[in-house]
Structure 1
Amino acid sequence: MEESDQIMAIVGAVAAGLAISAWVLDRRRMRRRNLDRVGFVPWTAVFFWSLMAAVLLLGLSGRVWLGIRS
């Protein structure tokens, strides 16, 4: 595995961690008790884009790991 492939795998793992934390925080916001305390971070958008980055980067690095090169 080349260095660029390792970087893709690491960044993909970080993006997956960010997606998990954004999902948890969005769920926490939706279940809040005080409805007037609305946050300012769009957790749904953060979740979506970080999940897309994680899927793409881990998919590309997984192809290299499996030996499928084009």
Structure 2
Amino acid sequence: MSSFTLMNWQDHFWTALSAASALLVLISSVADRRRHKRTKLDQVGIMPWTGITVFSVLITVLAAALAIKGA
């Protein structure tokens, strides 16, 4: 890996992490909404979608703040 590619990746790490965790927020929010609207109330599932959503929002906000600070 060239030094230019490595430096370019390091400059955008927090931005990429923020975008990836924002995508995770979107996916987990949709999954949590589907879980709450299920018709068979006995089939809950094992994924804690609400907790995943909360932690991924936290990661998104912190990574975005660090990306803005680093710019």
With normalisation by structure 1, the TM-score equals 0.82
Name stretches of at least 5 consecutive residues in structure 1 with no aligned partner. Answer: 66-70
**Unpaired runs of 5+ in structure 2?**
1-6
Structure 2 residue aligned with 1:35? 41
Deviation at 1:20, TM superposition (A): 1.0
Question: Could you list the per-position Cα deviations for residues 8-66 of structure 1 after superposition, in whole angstroms to 9, with x for gaps in the alignment?
Answer: 1001100010011101100110000110111100000100111100111012112333x
How far apart, in 2, do the equivalents of 1:31 and 1:58 lie?
31
Aligned to 2:14: 8
2:32 corresponds to which residue? 26
Mean CA deviation greater in 55-64 or 31-40? 55-64
| Matched pairs, number | 65
Corresponding position: 1:57 with 2:66:
no
Aligned CA distance change for structure 1 residues 64 and 2 (closer, same or farther; 3 Å): farther
- Percent sequence identity is 34
Secondary structure in structure 2 of the residue aligned to 1:54: helix
- Supply the distance in 2 between the matched residues of 1:43 and 1:4 (Cα, whole angstroms): 30
